[in-house]
Structure 1
Amino acid sequence: MNARTIRTIAAALSLTAALAISGCSSGQDDGSGSPAGAGASAAPEAAQAAQGGMTVSGAFMPEPVNDKMAGAFMVIKNGSKTADKLVSAGSPLSDDLQIHETKDQKMQQVQSMDVPAGGELRLERGGNHIMFMGLKNQPKVGDKITIELRFEKAGPVKVELDVKERTYTAQNSTSH
């Protein structure tokens, strides 16, 4: 094995361990007594932005367990009549943000994700998400992290992620 392969395997193992520890799962109970997805969160939607028909809500990052990686979760709604794609993201917190999809309980980096016309893209625990790799510092609960989402057609969208407890699960409605 060459050094690059070893680093890639080590990074994958670290990512898997960190996500398991940080609770990157589709937990059904946030401790409030309401099952996940039962209704809108009582917390104000601090992380909202709109550009080119794109609206982002419910954006958060669970407090990272280390300075190696963290996940970002949110709902991106496309209010336009044109389908689009999330093609990249950037943030001062990390020089390496990756778009990850989860299929058959396995994560993999992808080049883009579809945001259907009049529809939404859900980035959520246990599913598709954005990964911050190699954090420049370790955010704490209550911090706000700036992220810029870039789309194939719509302009860039700046969003503030609220850093939440490691066990936090968003309570977004699943009805349209």
Structure 2
Amino acid sequence: MNRRTTLAAATALTAGLALAGCSSSSSDAEPELKIGQAFMPEPVNADMAGGFLVVKNEGKAADKLTKVTSPLADDVTIHETKNQKMREVKSFDIPAGGELDLERGGSHIMFMGLKKKPKQGEKVSIELHFEKAGLVKAELPVKETTYNPKHH
């Protein structure tokens, strides 16, 4: 009986070490997200605006942007533009070692039903919700209506 108990304990210990080894190696594969080049052009009309930024993933795991929220508007959605047609999407992929570029004329954040019209020089707070990284807060500086960093 003593031999069975020792064998069971050794088996349990080996299984536990194997699981611990698996979990420590998976923690190396996490997304490392950095937000940059964020801005919002001052809206022309008072009820909607666009937001733009770059999410760089310097980690070894992919992630997804699943939602954006902001105190500026209750209705904040993410859109892609393909063949000059804009459509709402549920998420954007951010590959490991890659980036998500939300830019004018392309994929972007859409703010509908603004609670107030932001003015140039102000900053708009947003919360980016990611599948793995969770909640990341950022600010969009409000720039002139025609601002486009790709053309500066």
TM score, norm. by length of structure 1: 0.67
User: Is the counterpart of residue 125 in structure 1 residue 101 in structure 2?
Assistant: no
5+ residue gaps, structure 2, are 1-30
Report the Cα offset of residue 171 of structure 1.
4.1
> Could you give the per-residue CA deviations for residues 53-75 of structure 1, whole angstroms, max 9, x where no partner exists?
11000100000112211000011
**1:149 counterpart residue number:** 128
As a proportion of its length, which structure holds more strand?
A: 2
CA RMSD, aligned part only? 1.5
The amino acid that maps onto 1:71 is G
Q: Which has the larger radius of gyration?
A: 2
Query: For the residues of structure 1 that align with 2:47 and 2:60, how far apart are their CA atoms?
Result: 39
Query: For the residues of structure 1 that align with 2:56 and 2:77, how far apart are their CA atoms?
Result: 20
Which of 44, 47, 62 is the equivalent residue of 1:65? Answer: 44
Query: For the residues of structure 1 that align with 2:124 and 2:47, how far apart are their CA atoms?
Result: 16
As a proportion of its length, which structure holds more helix?
A: 2
TM score, norm. by length of structure 2: 0.77
**2:117 counterpart residue number:** 138
> Could you give the per-residue CA deviations for residues 11-35 of structure 1, whole angstroms, max 9, x where no partner exists?
xxxxxxxxxxxxxxxxxxxxxxxxx
How many residues are matched? Answer: 122
Report the Cα offset of residue 170 of structure 1.
1.4
Percentage of matched positions with identical amino acids: 63
The amino acid that maps onto 1:134 is G
> Could you give the per-residue CA deviations for residues 100-139 of structure 1, whole angstroms, max 9, x where no partner exists?
0000010000000010111000000000000001000000
User: Given the superposition, is the C-alpha separation of residues 136 and 87 from structure 1 closer, same or farther in structure 2, using an over 3 Å criterion?
Assistant: same
5+ residue gaps, structure 1, are 1-51
Report the Cα offset of residue 80 of structure 1.
1.1
